[in-house]
Every structure is written in C-alpha cells, then in structure tokens.
A and B are shown apart, each in its own frame.
Chain A
Amino acid sequence: AQSVAQPEDQVNVAEGNPLTVKCTYSVSGNPYLFWYVQYPNRGLQFLLKYITGDNLVKGSYGFEAEFNKSQTSFHLKKPSALVSDSALYFCAVSPTGGFQKLVFGTGTRLLVSP
C-alpha cells in the first residue's frame, strides 16, 4: 500500500531565507507526487505535481520540488520564504494507472517569521 511520511510537524524559517519541507513516499511502481497547501479555514490548494520527466518541478507561488527516486523523496523548496507562505503543507502520492486516489501525509506547518 502506498504511504507518505512528513517527518517534521513544523518548520521555522526567517523571511528571505530558503525553506525546505521534507516528504518521503512508499509506493509500488512509479509514483505520482503532489504538494498541497492549506490556509486557515480554507480548503487545500494545489501547488505542484510530479508525474514524469524532469526531476525538478516548478509550481505556484515560487515553490519547487525535487523528485529523488533513489531516496524516495519529494522535498518542497523555495529559495526565499515570505511571511505569507506560513501555512500547512501536505505531500500526497497516487499510484500510476487506475483512478487518482490521493494518499496524504500528516502535514507540516511552515512558520515564516518576519
């Protein structure tokens, strides 16, 4: 069965510094990987996805993620954090083929301080 691990409950970073939110996955076959962001009292918003191709994928709001097959990781990154990036971030995985059931991690709260 597929699963996602987000080892950090919270990540703290100062505004302007680079940020990384970690995600590792377990899935048979080639994974489809996603990052979603959740702001307070709002639904999840899609940030980016990896389906195939270039291991570095770029998404919304300046975020990017690097797919590393050997380490089964899909870490979310941003070169320069903004206070407005503070939110809850979820990594998700879906097996290839079939219907797109998403399995989410437990989430990482990102806190960007001024």
Chain B
Amino acid sequence: EAGVAQSPRYKIIEKRQSVAFWCNPISGHATLYWYQQILGQGPKLLIQFQNNGVVDDSQLPKDRFSAERLKGVDSTLKIQPAKLEDSAVYLCASSSSPRDSYEQYFGPGTRLTVT
C-alpha cells in the first residue's frame, strides 16, 4: 500500500512569511497527526485529527499555526507568520484507528528553514 505522502519536502522562507504543508495519509486511515521535530529533539505532537474532527491540539501554537482536514482525508498545516524557532521538520502520520492499531505510519516530513 502507498505510504503517507507529504509535500513539499523542503521549504525555505523568511521570518514573518507564511507557509503551508500538505499531507495525504494512507488510504482508509481515520486518524491523522502532525508532529514538529526540532533538530536534536524527538517529535512533538502538534495536532491530532480523528476523521475531520480535532482530538488534541493542546500543543499547537494557535496564534500562528492552523490545520485542517477537510473531508477526513488530506490535511494542511499552515504557519502564519513564521518565526525563526519554527525551523524544524514537520512530520505527518496516520493510523487506521486510535484503538485498533496503535501503530502510526509516518511520512518523509517537510524540512522548514526560516531565515
């Protein structure tokens, strides 16, 4: 089966600009996650969707970050305006069910550099 797709793979922007990332989960996976991985750290959950509803966004900086999952499939994560500390790899993951699988499948990530 096809894996989790993300685009773009790399993005360089200046601070205060906006940027958007796209994720297409594995077909049929109801749960979608966005993680932020800063260099030298483990991934940190930003937001979790169950179908098109938000389950957990407690660590999402809502003043600048937003995410949506229209129709319960693809998702976009947006940063506006970006700050230097947003430089990180943004990982998208999906799982078939929050209870049945427990395994999350990760995409290759988008490496964001804010200058």
- Which of B13-21, B64-72, B73-81, B104-112 lies at the binding interface? B104-112
Listed A/B pairs (24) with beta-carbon separation below 8 Å? A32-B102, A34-B103, A36-B106, A43-B91, A43-B93, A43-B106, A44-B93, A46-B105, A90-B42, A92-B42, A94-B102, A98-B98, A99-B31, A99-B48, A99-B50, A100-B98, A100-B99, A100-B104, A101-B48, A102-B33, A104-B42, A104-B43, A105-B42, A106-B41
B44, B55, B103: which contacts A49 (Cβ < 8 A)?
Answer: B103
**Residue contact B40 to A106, C-beta cutoff 8 Å:** yes
Interface residues of B in 42-96 (CB under 8 A from A): 42-45, 48, 50, 55-56, 91, 93, 95
Taken residue by residue from 37 to 57, chain A's Cβ proximity to chain B (1 for < 8 Å, 0 otherwise) reads as: 000011111100101000000
Q: Which residue of B lies closest to A43 (CB)?
A: B106
Taken residue by residue from 20 to 50, chain B's Cβ proximity to chain A (1 for < 8 Å, 0 otherwise) reads as: 0000000000010100000011111100101
4 closest Cβ pairs, A-B complex: A104-B42, A43-B106, A44-B106, A99-B98
A4, A45, A101: which contacts B45 (Cβ < 8 A)?
Answer: A101
* Chain A residues positioned under 8 Å from B50 (CB to CB): 99
Known: A90-B43, A101-B56, A104-B44. A43 touches B102 (CB 8 A): no
Interface residues of A in 71-108 (CB under 8 A from B): 90, 92, 94, 98-107
Q: Which residue of B lies closest to A98 (CB)?
A: B98
Q: Which residue of B lies closest to A44 (CB)?
A: B106
* Chain B residues positioned under 8 Å from A49 (CB to CB): 102-103
* Chain A residues positioned under 8 Å from B56 (CB to CB): 99, 101
When chains A and B are docked, how far (Å) is the Cα of A92 from the Cα of B41?
12
* Chain B residues positioned under 8 Å from A106 (CB to CB): 40-42
**Residue contact A102 to B91, C-beta cutoff 8 Å:** no
When chains A and B are docked, how far (Å) is the Cα of A100 from the Cα of B102?
7
Q: Which residue of A lies closest to B97 (CB)?
A: A100
**Residue contact A43 to B107, C-beta cutoff 8 Å:** yes
How far does the Cβ of B105 sit from chain A's closest Cβ, in whole Å?
Answer: 7
